[in-house]
Chain A
Amino acid sequence: MRTFIQYLFLFLMSSASTLSHAGEWSGFAGLEFRGFNQTAQDSRQDHDTNFSFVFEPEYYHEWDDGDQSIAFVPYVRVDENDNERTHFDIRELTYLKVAEHWELRLGIRKVFWGVTEFQHLVDIINQTDLVENLDTEDKLGQPMLNLALINDWGTVDLFVMPYFRERYFPGTSGRLRSIPETRQDRSQFESAAKEKHIDLAARYSHYIGDWDFGLSHFYGTSRDPRLLLSTDSGGNPFLIPFYDIINQTSADIQTTKGNMLWKFEALHRSGQGTTYNALAGGFEYTFVGIMDSALDLGVLSEYHYDDRDELSTSIFQDDIAIGARLAFNDVQSSEALIGLVWDKDNGGKFFNIEASRRLGDDWLLELQGRFFFNQKRRDPAFTVSRDDYSELFLSYNF
């Protein structure tokens, strides 16, 4: 990994030195506070409040009329209680070349696939930065070569990923972790090449009228590991992340009919235990300008299914999700989102609230709450069932 980054850095710096004028810096710095309602399941998770500081600057420079550019986005979090949550990552360090019929990207970056809201089922290129948030929307930068071929009949994206990023798990004292603890330092791989296995992916995406769709295939190291139970020399149990080599074919489709959005994602995966299928689908309908105001109210519902049933490592194996999104359309861009995920099999429930509002021109205040109800011992969500929390995040954007 280090050598890859060093080479890339040298390459980018040498191209940067040929540039006529300097690029621009932007980014944010923020302070996060979390309060937990209950004491944790494991006495070593010995805190009910937690402060965390994050900093994400972004450098961007383009030349050649914008047809060539570099971007550099480092990320650092310093956490009060969890040593594993204190971490550094390069979210992006990319060279981009744009031509009429293709785009080439070389470096570390993030790619998003999919359309659904409660779970990003088919999104697989990047590893989840799980110490950041349970919602799996924070990702580790993925080193890659990506060639996009742009045609009238759609875009074909080809990916070669020479280095795999292991998932980051919360440390011993961290909240919102598995019990027993998952130890990243004991990771195992199906491939003898371990994290140097070359992963490959291809995606075709296009839109016709009000239908947007993508078909993808991924071959390589599974981003979500199986967790194997083991014991250390002292007889204490812990979980080993095991990374299989998988093949995954997926589709994601959205159709936009007036104020109604229909969304569907499905995948077929082999190589990780039994071959399985999973799907996520639903709708989002927006009531525009409710009660003669500027407010928009969106209601959404999705069904998530995974045919491994109880063996699933996902918390979405037979779940119904409902939510509401409120956009105030005011000067401060105030927004709120609430969601409830209900496990049809065992009755477990997960309640989620997110809200944000700009303060002045440069500050953003975000509120988040995640609450677990009636989680059953066999559900993957059980180990965090005493980790209900509320979070305030204040960031300065520049």
Chain B
Amino acid sequence: MKTILILPILLTLLLNTAYAETPEEKGLAIANEADKRDTGWTDQVADMSMMLKNKQGDSSTRVMRITTFEVPGDGDKSLITFDSPKDIKGTAFLSHTHSLTPDDQWLYLPALKRVKRISSSNKSGPFVGSEYAYEDLSSQEVEKYKYKWLRDETLNGRDSFVIERFPQYEHSGYTRQIVWLDKEMYQPLQLEFFDRKNSQLKTLQFLDYKQYLDQYWRPGSMQMTNHQTGKSTTLSWTDYKFKNGLSDRDFDKNTLKRAR
């Protein structure tokens, strides 16, 4: 008799909770779903070229190779090796990212054959003179932000969730970001960045998505525009390869030391 009474109460409670999902809960749930759908790729190798443009239209290019290793339950590991500009060819950057504790980062300087442990607090600084900050390019873990769903909206003909997210990292260069997340891919279409004074700083657009291994969506290019300086940086990704059999060993200081 008692169980019969309790069951409807429980059901009502459960339904109520679902119905009364706050925008914060909905935002977090979407972030978790996006994270879940992009899990299991194990490792990824890709070539990236960066085109830096200033207001006058002068441009400069950087070319690099990026390998990434998925670490379940923590931030990913990545190794970036520069091919150009030629004076920094062979310079490499190893990063073991963590969701909540500071990342471990090392830089390899080929002229001196020197590996230097570097400060990882510098996440808001520009990455090789581009409009991307280190934190824009590092692994996107759910725990790095607090979320708030704002609305659903169609962007460039794609149904998307519009979510506001607040960096939890104390040295972040942003107060908040607004992300347009595609409802089909669960990948970002557009990201707006607000600086420490909460004024709009940059917009990042993700273009030419392709699906790999029937599951993982990756953009072919990413265009960052700085509204305050008029400068822009376009990333073009080529030769994405997944599940290459990489291991922790491919992301240690010994491997960094033989970057070419």
Interface residues of A (CB under 8 A from B): 26, 28, 60, 62, 69, 71, 96, 98, 100, 103, 109-112, 115, 137, 148, 150, 155, 205, 207, 210, 212, 254, 256, 258-261, 286, 288-289, 294, 296, 329-333, 358, 361-362, 364, 395, 397-398
Contacts and interface: CB of A to CB of B under 8 A. Distances in A.
B87 interface: yes
Contact of B126 (A62, A155, A294): A294
A364 to B, nearest CB: 5
A62 B260 contact: yes
Given A26-B89, A259-B121, A261-B119, A137 B126 contact: no
A98 B258 contact: yes
Contacts of B84: 361
Contacts of A28: 86-87
26 contacts: A60-B260, A69-B258, A71-B260, A96-B258, A103-B254, A110-B113, A150-B254, A155-B254, A212-B117, A254-B117, A256-B119, A258-B119, A259-B119, A259-B121, A261-B119, A286-B121, A288-B121, A288-B122, A289-B124, A289-B173, A329-B125, A330-B129, A331-B129, A333-B129, A361-B86, A398-B86
Q: How large is the interface on B (under 10, 10 to 19, 20 to 34, 35 or more residues)?
A: 35 or more
B119 to A, nearest CB: 5
Contacts of A397: 85-87, 89
Contacts of A150: 249, 252, 254
Task: Name B's interface SS.
Answer: loop
A385 to B, nearest CB: 28
A286 B129 contact: no
Nearest to B105: A256
Interface of B: 52, 54, 60-61, 84-90, 102, 104, 112-122, 124-126, 128-129, 171, 173, 247, 249, 252-254, 258, 260
Contacts of A111: 113
A254 B106 CA distance: 12
Nearest to A24: B260
B113 A112 contact: yes
Given A60-B260, A71-B260, A332-B129, 15 more contacts: A26-B86, A26-B90, A100-B249, A112-B113, A150-B249, A150-B254, A286-B119, A288-B125, A329-B129, A330-B129, A333-B129, A361-B84, A361-B86, A397-B85, A398-B86
A99 to B, nearest CB: 9
A98 B247 CA distance: 14
A38 to B, nearest CB: 30
A6 B112 CA distance: 26
Contacts of A155: 253-254
Best-surrounded residue of B61, B125, B260 (most CB of chain A within 10 A):
B260
A26 B119 CA distance: 30
Contacts of B104: 207, 210
Contacts of B89: 26, 397
A362 B125 contact: no
Contact of A148 (B87, B121, B254): B254
A289 B125 contact: yes
A92 B162 CA distance: 54
A259 B118 CA distance: 9
A137 B112 contact: yes
A207 B253 contact: yes
Contacts of B52: 331
A261 B117 contact: yes
Contacts of B120: 256
B119 A358 contact: no
A333 B124 contact: no
A109 B112 CA distance: 11
A361 B253 contact: no
Contacts of A398: 86
Contacts of A260: 119
